[in-house]
Amino acid sequence: MIDPFGRTITYLRVSVTDRCDFRCVYCMAEEMSFLPKAELLTLEELDRVCSAFIRLGVRKLRLTGGEPLVRRNIMSLFRRLGRHLETAALDELTLTTNGSQLARYADELRDCGVRRVNVSLDTLDPQKFTEITRRGRIEQVLEGLAAAKRAGLQVKINAVALRGINEDELSDLVAWAGGEGFDLVFIEVMPMGDIGGETRLDQYLPLSLVRARLQQRWTLDDSDYRTGGPARYVTVRETGRRLGFITPLTHNFCESCNRVRLTCTGTLYMCLGQEDAADLRAPLRQSEGDEAVEQAIREAISRKPKGHDFVIDRRHNRPALARHMSVTGG
């Protein structure tokens, strides 16, 4: 699959649920209205559509949420998709998780062919963690990370840089991740969805500033390492671990975009930061065969835009997009 700008699409991110057991202040409002379950693709439908993408050239598949591991019987989907790893049709099956359920599922994920997981963790302070997630316990996540290490999973920590909240401990996160043997990625807050009383302007911390501060303590060596995602990496010389920066606002990373996102309702977004989308649920449910859904996928890829329009709206203090990140897939 090649889009209008010559980019080959090889990476699919799939939200398997919009539900989550946390309510992170940069992602959701505290009181969320989740989708009716009837609107969600079944696990069988998710397998069908993911398999269609793989036939069309997707080589990397990431399951996200919400929190993917809170979906009932989700491991049956991992087991089904794992067959594509065995046939070498798929290079990698991964997930992004908040870590709350990792202690329960780490071994099974490994058995399904998962080798890497991304875990969202924005602070090491227990009280601050509960404030950011509005209901989480950091001990639960740390237990999950320990289980992932025991299972032999590579772990990458995703941390959203939040002004006035965790900016004073980002350097300590670098030290902690290095000591644990984890790679670490810092992410700028993304202007998506109404998050209640919090404002994006209050939360936004440019990673150019973060990097400058980190360089006062750490030696950051440039790296050409890529995972297929949007992060730009350096190596922290003192720890030997990779440190990535995802900068949708201060640096547009669209020129090398190779990915599309599928929501749990079967809506395909060709760009995280644009509203244009394609409905794959209808062709999935209208036919037992997959010809119609493959045609819909090809047509959607032909409309993939050149880039996103993320911006912090300082004048009206509103998100760039109305939909929440949890709907699109973390």
Distance CA 134, CA 316 (A): 26
What pairing do the DSSP bridges indicate for beta strands 267-269 and 259-262?
Answer: antiparallel
Distance CA 14, CA 262 (A): 5
Asked which of 12-16, 166-170, 227-231 is least confident by mean pLDDT, the reply is 227-231
Mean pLDDT of the chain: 89
Distance CA 162, CA 25 (A): 10
Please report, rounded to a whole number, the percentage of residues in the chain having pLDDT higher than 90.
72
pTM: 0.87
Give the chain's domains with CATH numbers: 11-328 (3.20.20.70)
Q: Greater confidence, 192 or 176?
A: 176
pLDDT at 52 over 80: yes
Mean pLDDT for the stretch of residues 20-37? 83
If you compute the radius of gyration of the chain from its CA atoms, what whole number of angstroms results?
19
> 259-315 pLDDT, tens per residue?
999 999 999 999 877 778 999 999 999 988 999 999 999 999 999 988 765 554 444
Structure tokens at 158: 């995703």
Query: What confidence tier does 178 reach under pLDDT thresholds 50, 70, 90?
Result: very high
Choose from 67-76, 253-262, 263-272 the range with maximum mean pLDDT: 67-76
Which element (helix H / strand E) includes 57? none
What pairing do the DSSP bridges indicate for beta strands 11-15 and 60-64?
Answer: parallel
H, E, C per residue of 84-107: HHHCCCCCEEEEEECCCCHHHHHH
